[in-house]
Amino acid sequence: MSGPLEGVRVIELAGIGPGPLAGQLLADLGANVISIDRKAEQLQADRPKDANRRNKRSIAVNLKAEGAADIVLELCAKADMLIEGFRPGVAERLGLGPETVHGVNPALVYGRLTGWGQTGPLAARAGHDINYISITGALAAIGEAGRPVPPLNLVGDYAGGSLMLVFGLMAGMVRAKMSGKGDVIDAAMTDGSVAIMSLIHSLRASGIWQDRREANLIDGGAPFYRCYETSDGGFMAVGAIEPQFFAELLRGLEADASWEEKQYDQSAWTEMEAAFADRFRRRTRDAWTARFEATDACVSPVLDMAEAPHHPHNRARGTFRELDGYFQPAPAPRFSSGESEIRRGAFFQGEDTTAILKEAGFDETRIAEMINAGQVEQAI
């Protein structure tokens, strides 16, 4: 292991989406993350194409088998953090709720990641990112004028969920290291997606933001903050908010310089947008990229996921790494003390069962007994 979290031990009760990403982010920074999976997979020549599984190890535990929860508790006894993303009450029924875990390790930081949170009228309901951000005001603010558009699952699941959970876990661990007392983190994607909209709420309270899509400064309403189609069907992203950058945009487009004085005059935006759209349609995306690349006009090409790894800036910084047969995001953020690493590719479920149990102090006879009893599985 290497990285700023070297020596930190994390137990991840395997789930989908936001929980595995949180574990991956910690593992990328050097944490020893053990994924508790439900059953073992058959080992194959090719690794799974799942970046959320990288840099971790996996033990397959049948949590419904008698005594299996005790095995996980043995692992928790030496861990710093635990991640679980079940509906409220499920971990308790499995014998792995916060009270039980803190009984064996009072200093552990127990991270609970859900869409609706541990309390509230919707806490027990199913949902997905689109549902979580729909009741927070975030979804209503994103998209075209005629309808909201789900921003993938980046706002609720990952920004409001995974990142907020990691933030909470790290804060909890700092306090636990000082006090010796752990904590329970209730990371709700509804809460998190509201928290990251703090600036938008402030703008609205100040009368600057309208409750209409494509009517505001950064939601596609302003002609200097939106995307324009090029002659070859590509798109350019324009973000020339500040006057000096807007002036650069006008020069690059060879547009009417008198618009500098009308930049924030919304009555001029319709005409301005039409003129900008006409100019961008006259050249290819690559031609516009070359024209604006050396300027501060805040204009850049819109690349798809296949193109992004090959952009010169991304190549220079190593923003993507090729592993398991495809380009995947490199660890982030970066530290002056050394690069975070991708130490191994995606795991197979149950691949490390025996090794993890041996590290925890179980001898080979006991491990064989647990396998025969169906409490754990070793991938073969």
Please write the tens of the pLDDT for every residue from 16-49.
889 999 999 999 999 999 999 999 999 999 999 9
Report if residue 30 sits inside a domain: yes
Q: Which of 50, 128, 186, 191 is catalytic?
A: 128
Same domain, 98 and 30: yes
> What integer is the mean pLDDT of 328-336?
94
End position of a domain, from candidates 315, 342, 364: 315
Same domain, 325 and 309: no
Same domain, 30 and 101: yes
Tell me whether residue 80 is one of the annotated catalytic residues.
Answer: no
pTM: 0.95
How many domains in the chain? Answer: 2
The domain in which residue 281 lies consists of: 225-315
Same domain, 24 and 133: yes
Question: What tokens were used for 172?
Answer: 């909890």
> What integer is the mean pLDDT of 53-75?
97
Same domain, 159 and 70: yes
Tell me whether residue 311 is one of the annotated catalytic residues.
Answer: no
Same domain, 309 and 324: no
Sign of the C-alpha dihedral computed for residues 66, 68, 69 and 70 taken in this order: positive
Same domain, 121 and 230: no
> What integer is the mean pLDDT of 230-248?
98
Same domain, 98 and 60: yes
End position of a domain, from candidates 315, 331, 354: 315
Report if residue 3 sits inside a domain: no
Instruction: Report the distance separating Cα 249 and Cα 243, nearest Å.
Output: 10
The pLDDT of residue 1: 54
> What integer is the mean pLDDT of 220-237?
98
Query: CATH number for the domain including 296?
Result: 3.30.1540.10
Report if residue 114 sits inside a domain: yes
| pLDDT, tens digit (0-9, with 9 covering 90-100), for 195-211 | 999 999 999 999 999 99
Query: CATH number for the domain including 94?
Result: 3.40.50.10540
Task: Give the CA count within 13 Å in the CB-facing half-sphere of 110.
Answer: 22
Same domain, 102 and 26: yes
Q: Which of 80, 129, 157, 183 is catalytic?
A: 157
Q: How confident is the model at residue 279 (pLDDT cuts 50, 70, 90)?
A: very high
**CA of residue 230 relative to chain centroid, distance:** 31
> What integer is the mean pLDDT of 333-339?
85
Same domain, 244 and 291: yes
3-state secondary structure of 110: strand
Q: To 5 degrees, how large is the angle CA 325–CA 327–CA 328? A: 115
Report if residue 271 sits inside a domain: yes
Report if residue 117 sits inside a domain: yes
End position of a domain, from candidates 315, 334, 356: 315
| pLDDT, tens digit (0-9, with 9 covering 90-100), for 133-151 | 999 999 999 999 999 999 9
The pLDDT of residue 2: 78
Same domain, 273 and 174: no
SS (H, E, C) 288-344: HHHHHCCCCCCEEECCCCCCHHHCHHHHHHCCEEEECCEEEECCCCCECCECCCCCC
Q: Find all residues with CB under 8 Å of 264, minimum gap 6, and list them.
A: none
Report if residue 204 sits inside a domain: no
Report if residue 203 sits inside a domain: no
Instruction: Report the distance separating Cα 105 and Cα 76, nearest Å.
Output: 7
The pLDDT of residue 340: 78
Same domain, 191 and 262: no
The pLDDT of residue 338: 76
Report if residue 362 sits inside a domain: yes
